[in-house]
């Protein structure tokens, strides 16, 4: 097992575990305006995985994955609205989205080719990075949002 895969798998599994027991109201709770809900964070995590995976693989995406690409940036790194509504962000949709993204990127993270590592990708936040840089970002991204989930769930106004 390579280091990037070990770190990604650990942080992602903990993130998924931290949200797997939440209902729709809890997933869509917004702490305050201009912040992501937990559901939006989860779909964003999946969108970023697809974004970086596609940047490394340079393959043709399905229409569903193309829509998820928007969640990598819209409502997060730009002023556009998040591409999915609270009504769409059900526990089932969130779980299916995370599972689909995992299926797409896991083989790549487990065994990245030299070509994938060398790929040039414009990062979600703007700078040009390599595929190796994308692997580093895979490793911490879900952990970053896992910390946010912990804080939101500890909020006194979080739905029971």
What pLDDT sits at residue 85?
A: 97
What pLDDT sits at residue 24?
A: 98
Enter the pTM of the model. Answer: 0.96
> Do residues 39 and 143 lie in contact, with contact meaning Cβ atoms separated by under 8 Å?
no
The ranges assigned to domains in the chain are: 3-154
What pLDDT sits at residue 117?
A: 96
Correct CATH for 3-154 of 3.30.450.20, 3.40.50.2300, 2.40.110.10, 1.20.120.450: 1.20.120.450
> Do residues 18 and 60 lie in contact, with contact meaning Cβ atoms separated by under 8 Å?
no
Alpha carbons 41 and 142: distance in angstroms, whole number: 9
What pLDDT sits at residue 141?
A: 96
What pLDDT sits at residue 125?
A: 85
> Do residues 123 and 129 lie in contact, with contact meaning Cβ atoms separated by under 8 Å?
yes
Can you give the pLDDT of all 160 residues of the chain as single tens digits? Answer: 799 999 999 999 999 999 999 999 999 999 999 899 999 999 999 999 999 999 999 999 999 999 999 999 999 999 999 999 999 999 999 999 999 999 999 999 999 999 999 999 998 888 999 999 999 999 999 999 999 999 999 999 999 9
Tell me the sheet residues that pair with 129.
121
DSSP run (H or E) holding 121 = strand 120-122
| Backbone torsions φ then ψ of 122, nearest 5 degrees | -80, 115
What pLDDT sits at residue 1?
A: 75
């Amino acid at each position: 097992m390579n280091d990037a895969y070990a770190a990604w798998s650990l942080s992602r599994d903990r993130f998924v575990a931290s949200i797997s027991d939440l209902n729709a109201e809890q997933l869509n709770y917004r702490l305050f305006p201009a912040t992501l809900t937990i559901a939006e964070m989860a779909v964003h995590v999946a969108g970023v995985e697809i974004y970086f995976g596609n940047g490394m693989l340079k393959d043709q995406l399905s229409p569903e994955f193309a829509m998820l690409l928007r969640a990598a940036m819209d409502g997060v790194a730009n002023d556009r609205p998040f591409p999915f509504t609270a009504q769409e962000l059900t526990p089932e949709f969130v779980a299916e989205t995370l599972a689909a993204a995992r299926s797409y990127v896991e083989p790549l993270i487990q065994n990245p080719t030299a070509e994938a590592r060398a790929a040039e990708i414009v990062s979600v936040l703007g700078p040009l990075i390599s595929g190796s840089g994308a692997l580093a970002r895979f490793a911490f991204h879900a952990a970053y949002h896992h910390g946010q989930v912990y804080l939101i769930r500890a909020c006194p106004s979080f739905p029971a």
